[in-house]
């Protein structure tokens, strides 16, 4: 059995489109780091290039999914605060698996309170960005909300996703701005 562990920040830069990173099992391909502070500087794994595919990966605090189309399948993503963030394009059709789609992934919140799983950055109603979680599982250690709006028009969709009792009934937090509640 080959196990790959990367300890450090990993960035797929905007000039590197059409990259696939694939393990054979998420438990054997682990990308980990532990940073805090500025959300743009602290992620463990950042994807800024278009047409990225990630499969069978473990990403530990935080996945920054921004710019271009991205697809994640059978990944394990763990973190405490906004551990899925960015402004990836939303698929026009669910069957066209573009970026911003996480399918059959396990999201585990390490939050020790009411922190959010996602922080989506959509700034305009005309932008076609957002996250889609399709057939995922959400678990955790305490309690969490599904997301909070990093942008004025943030969009996150959960489809056929199992949510354990760690997800609080209100589901969302408006990040201190009641105008973003809708």
Residues in the chain: 182
Of residues 113, 114, 59, 55, the one with CA closest to residue 86: 59
Question: Tokens 């989506």, residue?
Answer: 120
Catalytic residue list contains 82: yes
Residue of 15, 35, 38, 61 marked active site: 61
Annotated catalytic residue 65: no
Q: Count CA atoms within 13 Å of residue 33 on its CB side.
A: 18
39 phi, psi to nearest 5 deg = -65, -25
- Given the residues 38, 51, 82, 177, the one annotated as active site: 82
DSSP 3-state assignment of 36?
Answer: coil
Contact 122, 147 (CB under 8 A): no
Residue 32 has a CB neighbour count (10 Å cut-off) of: 16
Instruction: Kindly list the catalytic residues.
Output: 61, 82
């Amino acid at each position: 059995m080959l196990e790959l562990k990367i300890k450090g920040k990993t960035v797929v830069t905007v000039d590197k489109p059409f990259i696939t990173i694939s393990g054979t099992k998420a438990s054997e391909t682990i990308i980990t780091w532990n940073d805090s502070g500025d959300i743009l500087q602290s992620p463990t794994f950042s994807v800024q290039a278009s047409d990225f595919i990630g499969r069978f990966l473990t990403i530990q605090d935080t996945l920054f999914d921004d710019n271009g189309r991205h697809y994640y399948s059978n990944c394990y993503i763990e973190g405490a605060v906004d551990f899925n963030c960015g402004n990836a394009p939303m698929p026009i059709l669910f069957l066209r698996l573009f970026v911003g789609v996480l399918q059959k992934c396990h999201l585990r919140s390490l939050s020790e309170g009411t922190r959010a799983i996602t922080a989506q950055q959509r700034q305009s109603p005309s932008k076609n960005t957002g996250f889609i979680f399709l057939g995922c599982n959400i678990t955790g250690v305490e309690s969490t909300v599904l997301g909070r709006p990093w942008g004025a028009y943030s969009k996150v969709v959960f489809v056929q996703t199992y949510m354990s009792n760690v997800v609080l009934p209100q589901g969302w937090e408006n990040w201190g701005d009641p105008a973003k509640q809708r």
